[in-house]
A and B are shown apart, each in its own frame.
Chain A
Amino acid sequence: KQEVTQIPAALSVPEGENLVLNCSFTDSAIYNLQWFRQDPGKGLTSLLLIQSSQREQTSGRLNASLDKSSGRSTLYIAASQPGDSATYLCAGPTQGGSEKLVFGKGTKLTVNP
C-alpha cells in the first residue's frame, strides 16, 4: 500500500529565500507524481505533474524533481514571495496503475516579508 510522507509539516522562511519541500513515497511503481497548492479555505490546485519517465518538471519559479529509486520527490521554490504562503501537498497513485491518489499531509509554508 502506498504511503506518502511530507516533512516538515510547517516551514517559515524570509522573503527571497530559495527553499525545498520534501515528499517521500513507499511504492516506487508510480506512473507520475503531482504537487498541489492549497490556500486557506480553498480547494487544491495542481502545480506540477511529473511523469515516471521524467526527472524534473518546471513551471516559473517552481521546479519539481522525481527519484523513483529512492522514493523521493522535491519541490524547489526559487526567490520565495509572501504570495507563496500556502500548504503544499504531494500525491502519488495508491498502487501500480491505480487511478486513485494518496496524499501526503502537506507542508504549510509561510514566507515572511
Chain B
Amino acid sequence: NAGVTQTPKFRILKIGQSMTLQCAQDMNHNYMYWYRQDPGMGLKLIYYSVGAGITDKGEVPNGYNVSRSTTEDFPLRLELAAPSQTSVYFCASSYSLRQRSGELFFGEGSRLTVL
C-alpha cells in the first residue's frame, strides 16, 4: 500500500511565485489534513477536509487554498509565495479520528523554501 503520497519532496520558490503541493491517499479515508511544521513551533493545521467537496480552514490558512474534488486527492495551493511560507508541509489522512482504529496517517512531507 502506498498510504499517503506527497509530491514534490523538495521545492525552491521565488517570492511571488505560486505552486501546488500534491497529496493522494489510497486508503479510502474520509478526512484529509494539511499541516506545516516549523522548528520549535510544532505542527500547525492549515486546512482540512471531511470528504469530497467539503473543506474548512485550520489554524493558519492565510496564503493557502485547497480543493477536494475526489476522495483520494487533496492538493494545497500556495498563492504569491512569501518567505514566511518556508516550511515542511505534511499531508495526513484518517478514516475518522473518533473511531477505535482512528490513527492519523502522514505522508513523507514536502520541504518548501521561498527565497
Chain A residue with Cβ nearest B108: A43
Q: Does B74 contact A (CB under 8 A)?
A: no
Chain A residue with Cβ nearest B106: A43
- Which of B42, B48, B50, B58 contacts A105 (CB under 8 A)? B42
- Complex formed: what's the CA distance from A89 to B44 in Å? 13
Q: Is the CB of A42 within 8 A of B108?
A: yes
Chain A contact-residue range equals 20 to 34
Q: Does B64 contact A (CB under 8 A)?
A: no
Residues from chain A with Cβ under 8 Å of B48 in the complex: 99-100
Chain B residue with Cβ nearest A102: B45
Q: Is the CB of A101 within 8 A of B41?
A: no
Q: Is the CB of B58 within 8 A of A99?
A: no
Chain B residue with Cβ nearest A6: B42
| Residue interface mask B92-110, A partner, CB < 8 A = 1 | 1010111011111111110
- Complex formed: what's the CA distance from A45 to B41 in Å? 19
Of the listed residues A41, A44, A103, the one surrounded by the most CB atoms of chain B closer than 10 A to its CB is A44
Q: Which residues of B contact A (CB under 8 A)?
A: 4, 31, 33, 40-43, 45, 48, 50, 58, 90, 92, 94, 96-98, 100-109
Q: Which residues of A contact B (CB under 8 A)?
A: 31-32, 34, 36, 41-46, 49, 51, 89, 91, 93, 97, 99-106
Known pairs A32-B102, A44-B106, A104-B42. 11 more at Cβ < 8 A? A31-B98, A32-B98, A41-B109, A43-B107, A44-B92, A44-B104, A97-B98, A100-B33, A101-B97, A101-B104, A103-B42
